[in-house]
């Protein structure tokens, strides 16, 4: 999907070090490498960075459905933490599973290679 970089790569997206892998048809894939600023006190991927990655991927998946000319806002997002990440890279794949006119329901998985890191569900409102 062709979308202006300014609408895909926000300042926060860049600050985290996210990289868009693919986007279109209600699916977004965003990668994130575990860099020192993203670590918690235990040296693992900080939960806030993981949540941000999921929220970014979900928002992009929503925009690929309703268009980048409209905005959406997170109403609710629940993440089930499965596994801590100590190094390497994670990939979040977000899919719109219900593309309603006013709300969208999205699911996401965060993977590190073939290992599940987290699963998430979210609801977004079209503004």
Which pLDDT value is given to residue 82? 84
Query: Which bin fits 17, alpha (ψ -120 to 50), beta or left (φ > 0)?
Result: left
> Using 50, 70 and 90 to split pLDDT, how confident is the model at 6?
confident
What pTM was computed for the model?
Answer: 0.94
What percent of the chain is helix, strand and coil (3-state, nearest 5)?
25, 45, 30
Burial class (CB in 10 A: 0-12, 13-18, 19+), 103: middle
Spacing of C-alpha 78 from chain mean position: 12
Tens digit of pLDDT for each residue in 8-64?
Answer: 888 999 999 999 999 999 999 999 999 999 999 999 999 999 999 999 999 999 999
Q: pLDDT tens digit string along 55-91?
A: 999 999 999 999 988 889 999 999 988 899 999 999 9
Query: For residue 110, what pLDDT is reported?
Result: 98
- Per CATH, domain 11-126 is 3.10.129.10: yes
Residue 90: HSE in the Cβ half-sphere, 13 Å Cα cutoff: 32
Q: Beta-strand (E) ranges in 1-127? A: 19-24, 27-33, 72-81, 89-99, 103-112, 115-126
SS3 of 69, please? coil
């Amino acid at each position: 999907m062709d979308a202006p970089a300014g609408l895909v790569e926000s300042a926060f997206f860049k600050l985290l070090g996210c990289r868009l892998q693919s986007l279109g048809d209600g699916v977004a894939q965003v990668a994130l490498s575990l860099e020192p600023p993203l670590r918690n006190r235990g040296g693992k991927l900080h939960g806030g960075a993981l949540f941000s990655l999921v929220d970014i991927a979900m928002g992009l998946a929503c925009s690929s459905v309703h268009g980048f000319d409209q905005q959406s806002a997170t109403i609710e997002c629940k993440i089930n933490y499965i596994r801590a990440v100590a190094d390497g890279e994670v990939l979040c794949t977000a899919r719109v599973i219900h593309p309603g006119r006013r709300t969208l329901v999205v699911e996401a998985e965060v993977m590190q290679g073939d290992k599940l890191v987290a699963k998430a569900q979210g609801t977004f409102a079209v503004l």
